[in-house]
A and B are shown apart, each in its own frame.
Chain A
Amino acid sequence: MNQFIATFHSQYGAVQFLKHARDYHIDCRLAPVPRILSSSCGTCAYYTYKDWNPGFVMKDLESIYKASDTSYELVFSNEDTL
């Protein structure tokens, strides 16, 4: 099992993620986004799973990072481009 952090384009995305994670019995909690990942004061989801993809539709997903004790590794990005 690994620890991941999902960031979202909206608070709604985070709330929906938590709801789905509970339905899928995935250990998940919401928290403020760590400053090092973003200057946004939005909400992120910490979750524990075997890989980054928890297998449900993730609304307004921005990025997913794999978290270790010392660093965050970007494993998925949904950043739009112009």
Chain B
Amino acid sequence: MVVSREKKSLMVAGIIIGIISVVLVLLGNPRNMGFCIACFYRDIAGSLSLHQASVAQYARPEIIGLLLGSMLISIFKKEFKPRGGSSPVFRFIISFFVMIGALVFLGCPFRMILRLAGGDLNAVVGLFGFISGIIAGSVLLNKGFTLGRSYRQSNVEGGAIGGIFAFLLLILLFVPSLLSFSTSGPGSLHAPIIFSLLGGLVVGSLAQRNRFCMAGGIRDIFLFRDFTLLSGLVMVFVAALGMNLVTGNFMLGFEGQSVAHTNVLWNFLGMALVGYGSVLLGGCPLRQTILAGEGNSDSAISVLGMLAGAAFAHNFSLASSPQGPTVGGKVATILGFVLLTTIALTIIYGNKKKEATNGN
């Protein structure tokens, strides 16, 4: 079997990312949470006192590293291309609900893979939901959904989000008293700052070079029968699984998993909303972070939308806990599906009308 260079590079990157993810757990991160884009934005929101959940407050250096790693490598490789202006408000709303879905499930797609690799069977349910959401979103893409094209923007605009996160890093390093820190719960569990930052920088660079996208990998199978992107994700799973087995971090089952609940319906629907929103946005939360690093200000808006979503999720008790989903979380998830579908259908209808008027 001939494996393309692109696929080979993705698979190697996947192995490295999987290993780093488990190493970060060994160094102090919560179990199956070497990386979780949603949980980490939630922790950052808490650290900035945008919400008051005392167990979820820490300015996660992994996220800072991911974004800055992507930015530095894209500048170095001359791929830093500031672009934006593609429906920023819709993107904010969609990413807001992607975050709500992720916090109802308790993890982004990246963590879903790490949870699978740790033997957490609740993540299998999440995976089915994620795939369903991606298929639904892909149908809308084929029907003519678009958030509109983006346009070239200035380097200052493209780099602004990097500046914000670099500033956050400086605060974390030199004026940490400005931030809130959990003393118990998942927010209190973390690897030393330098390792978290390095892990983020390496994974951010690899994800930028290889276009890692959890949603894209599954979307490409559905749209084109193309398995390139998926091959990288499979290797993340395989490497993390191997590391978990070797280090005794593998625990098969539904019950007693770290930062997870066992409610089948809402594990499914939470991740379905994440998959659905990710396809409409053009990428999963990890991909949005990497694109923001490449100078894409639409993705920077998505990052801000996710931060806002995380703050709302805890201020209004929408996020699940290990005891299960909340009533507010269930309502917000349904509201998310309704709102995203309404936005999508309105756009599709508008485009069809325009096509009919223009006769093409």
Residues of A within 8 A of B (CB): 9-13, 15-16, 20, 29-32, 34-36, 39-43, 56-57, 60, 79-82
Whether a CB of chain A sits under 8 angstroms from the CB of B145 is yes
Give which listed residue, A12, A34, A41, A56, contacts B283 with CB less than 8 A: A41
Please determine whether A35 and B229 come into contact, CB atoms closer than 8 angstroms. Answer: no
A41 touching B149, Cβ below 8 Å:
no
Q: A15-B141, A29-B224, A43-B224 are in contact. List 5 more A-B contacts (CB 8 A).
A: A9-B149, A12-B144, A40-B211, A41-B229, A41-B287
Cβ contact within 8 Å between A41 and B223: no
Q: Does B148 contact A (CB under 8 A)?
A: yes
Q: Which residues from A are CB-within-8-Å of B282?
A: 11, 41-42
User: Could you tell me the distance between the alpha carbons of A15 and B348 in the complex, rounded to whole angstroms?
Assistant: 13
Chain A residues with CB under 8 Å of B150's CB are 9
Is the Cβ of A81 less than 8 Å from the Cβ of B145? no
Q: What are the nearest 5 A-B pairs in CB distance? A: A12-B146, A9-B149, A41-B211, A41-B216, A10-B146
Contact A31 B226, beta carbon cutoff 8 Å: yes
Q: For A35, list chain B residues within 8 Å (CB).
A: 6, 210-211
- Contact B351 A12, beta carbon cutoff 8 Å: yes
Nearest-Cβ distance from residue B233 to partner chain A, whole angstroms: 13
Number of A-B contacts (CB under 8 A): 66
**B220 proximity list for chain A (CB < 8 A):** 32
Question: B229 contacts A32, CB within 8 Å?
Answer: yes
Please, which residues of chain B bring their CB within 8 A of the CB of A80? 151-152
Chain B CB within 10 Å, residue with most, of A11, A41, A80, A81? A41
Bound state CA distance, A80 and B325, in angstroms? 46
The docked-state distance in angstroms from the alpha carbon of A76 to that of B224 is 25
**Residues 44 to 74 of chain B near chain A (Cβ within 8 Å):** 74
Q: Tell me whether B153 is interfacial, beta carbon within 8 Å.
A: yes
Q: Provide the residues of chain B in CB contact with A10, threshold 8 Å.
A: 86, 146-149
Find out whether the CB atom of A20 lies under 8 angstroms from the CB atom of B147. Answer: no
Residues from chain A with a CB closer than 8 A to the CB of B283 are: 41
Complex CA distance for A44 and B141, rounded to whole angstroms: 14
Once A9-B149, A32-B228, A32-B229 are accepted as A-B contacts, the answer to whether A43 and B351 lie under 8 Å apart by CB is no
Chain B residue nearest to A33 in the complex (CB): B211
Chain A nearest CB, measured from B158 CB (Å): 11
Identify which of A16, A20, A30, A81 contacts B152 (C-beta below 8 A): A81
Beta-carbon contact of A39 and B74 below 8 Å: yes
Interface residue? B184 (CB, 8 A): no
Known: A10-B147, A39-B74. A34 touches B360 (CB 8 A): no
**A42 to B211 Cα, complex, angstroms:** 10
Say whether A57 contacts B351, CB under 8 Å.
Answer: no
- Do residues B294 and A11 form an inter-chain contact, with CB atoms below 8 A? no
Q: Determine if B213 is an interface residue (Cβ-Cβ < 8 Å).
A: yes
Say yes or no for B357: interface residue by CB 8 A criterion: no
